[in-house]
Amino acid sequence: MEIKDVENLANLSRIELSEEEKQEILKDMKGILEYVKVVEGVQVEDTKPEYNLRNVWRDDEIIPREFSHELITEQFPASQDGFLKVKKIL
C-alpha cells in the first residue's frame, strides 16, 4: 500500500484527509493489513462461505407505525417548503 492508495480510498469514501492524516493512516493500514493477512493461510477442507441468508416474508398489510414527520423534517440541514433541499447533482 502506498500514499496514492490511501488517497484513492479516501476519495471513494468521500473523506477529506490532510497530508499528515494520510501518512498516519498509511502506517496504521500497513500494520493492520499485515496482521489480517493470516486469513490467507486458513486451513479448511470443503468449507464454503455461508452467508446464512433466508427470505423474511410478511403479508402485504398496512400496519400503522408511529413516526414524527415534524421530528424528521426539523432535522434537515436545509429545506424548502417542507422538502429536503440538496445541491445540484448533475
Partner 1 sequence: MIDIAKLTIAEARKKLDAKEFSAVDLAQAYLDEIKKKNKELNAYLEIFDDVLEQAKEVDARIAKGESYPLLGIPMAIKDVILIKGRRVSAASKILENYRATYDATVITKLKKQGAVFLGRTNMDEFAMGGSTENSAFGPTRNPHDTRRVSGGSSGGSVAAVASNMALGALGSDTGGSVREPASFCGIVGMKPTYGRVSRYGLIAMGSSLDCIGSIAKNTEDAKIIYDAIYGHDILDSTSIEDTTYAKPQIKKVIGVPWDLVNMEGVDVKVKENFKQSISKLENLGFKINDISIKNIDMALATYYIIMPAESSTNLSRFDGMRYGLHKDGKDLLEDYRLTKRAGFGKEVRRRILLGTYVLSSGYYDAYYGKAQIARSALKEEFAKAFKDVDIVATPTAPFVAWKIGEKSDPLSVYLADIFTITANMVGIPAISIPSGFSEVEGKKLPLGIQFMAPHGAEDLLFEVGKKFETVL
Q: Residue 24 contacts by C-beta under 8 Å, 6 or more apart in sequence?
A: none
Instruction: Kindly state the smallest distance separating residue 20's Cβ from partner 1, in Å.
Output: 12
Instruction: Kindly state the smallest distance separating residue 18's Cβ from partner 1, in Å.
Output: 9
- Note the residues at the interface with partner 1 (CB under 8 A): 1, 5-6, 9-10, 12-17, 21, 25, 28-29, 31-33, 35-44, 47-52, 56, 58, 65-68, 71-72, 75-78, 84, 86-89
Instruction: Kindly state the smallest distance separating residue 43's Cβ from partner 1, in Å.
Output: 7
Nearer to partner 1, 65 or 80 (CB): 65
Spell out a b/e string for 5-25, using b for 16 or more CB atoms within 10 Å of the CB, else e. Answer: ebeeeeeeeeeebeeeebeeb
Q: Residue 73 contacts by C-beta under 8 Å, 6 or more apart in sequence?
A: 79, 82, 84
